[in-house]
């Protein structure tokens, strides 16, 4: 059983089309403008280019219902968009997906795309962790699938931002001591990846969104959900802020 609504149709889109559209090209100089200074370089609007006000980033985000706007996820990406109006975000989140499924979608939609992404954000694993018996998912399998996405993205020149599994101990129907231990193991492995050069940044949602009991979301993040696994706007805002500080604070505005 999955608490997320699965979506079989692969899509490639931004959380809100109007927001994700790339900014229009810089205006050209009038034909009678002085020629003493060369025109602005045509690459000023390319992915990762440095402008007078920062870098223009093109981001691919991979995840489950916590990223999928159709499942009321992806609010943390909206925060990035608010802070970085010129960023372009393609949201590939799909509710109900395990990391092995994310890997397949990533290979088909991101790695195979001619689009030049500057960053890959990966936020997943919880569906795997409570599918240990039904889908035989283990920390080792989760880590292998994540590693594949990380290495492929790095080979294509992307910076990789990993997000740890968020606290889900309030999902009492499926959370148990063995799954708690597996969650901690995956998150400990994730935190080690920057030092090993596998990812560029890790944002620790597990520690960020818990209060007191490290396995459980803070009470203030539950609303409007009651399942103990999905978090509301306050949680997304906090996660987005941490993500912005970690990887995108020098974005073009």
Q: Is 196 strand, coil or helix? A: coil
CATH code at 47-248 = 3.40.50.1110
How many Å from the N-terminal Cα to the C-terminal Cα in the chain? 43
In this prediction, residue 52 has a pLDDT band, given cuts at 50, 70 and 90, of: low
pLDDT tens-digit map of 186-225: 999 999 999 999 999 999 999 999 998 999 999 999 989 9
Pairing of strands 213-217, 210-211: antiparallel
pLDDT greater than 50 at residue 32 = no
Whole-model pTM?
0.80
Buried b / exposed e along 83-95 (16+ C-beta atoms within 10 A): bbebbbbbbbbbb
* Domain range annotation of the chain: 47-248
Sort 19 into a burial class: Cβ within 10 Å, 0-12 / 13-18 / 19+.
Answer: middle
Distance of CA 108 to the CA centre of its chain: 17
| The pLDDT of residue 253 | 84
Distance of CA 58 to the CA centre of its chain: 12
| The pLDDT of residue 47 | 64
| Inter-residue contact 235 to 209 (CB < 8 Å) | yes
């Amino acid at each position: 059983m999955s608490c997320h609504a699965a979506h079989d149709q692969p899509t490639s889109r931004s959380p809100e089309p109007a927001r994700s559209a790339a900014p229009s090209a810089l205006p050209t100089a009038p034909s009678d403008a002085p020629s003493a200074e060369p025109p602005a370089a045509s690459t000023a609007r390319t992915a990762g280019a440095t402008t007078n006000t920062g870098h223009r980033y093109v981001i691919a985000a991979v995840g489950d219902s916590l990223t999928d706007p159709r499942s009321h996820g992806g609010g943390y990406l909206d925060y990035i968009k608010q802070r970085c109006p010129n960023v372009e975000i393609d949201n590939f989140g799909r509710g109900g997906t395990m990391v092995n499924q994310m890997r397949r979608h990533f290979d088909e939609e991101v790695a195979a795309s001619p689009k030049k992404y500057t960053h890959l954000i990966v936020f997943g694993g919880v569906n795997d962790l409570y599918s240990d018996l039904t889908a035989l998912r283990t920390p080792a399998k989760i880590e292998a699938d994540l590693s594949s996405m990380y290495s492929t993205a790095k080979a294509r020149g992307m910076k990789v931002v990993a997000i740890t599994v968020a606290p889900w101990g309030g999902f009492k129907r499926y959370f148990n001591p063995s799954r708690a231990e597996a969650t901690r193991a995956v998150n400990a492995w994730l935190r080690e990846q920057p030092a090993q050069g596998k990812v560029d940044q890790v944002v620790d949602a597990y520690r960020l969104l818990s209060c007191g009991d490290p396995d459980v979301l803070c009470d203030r993040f539950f609303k409007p959900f009651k399942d103990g696994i999905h978090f509301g706007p306050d949680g997304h805002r906090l996660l987005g802020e941490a993500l912005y500080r970690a990887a995108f604070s020098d974005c073009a505005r």
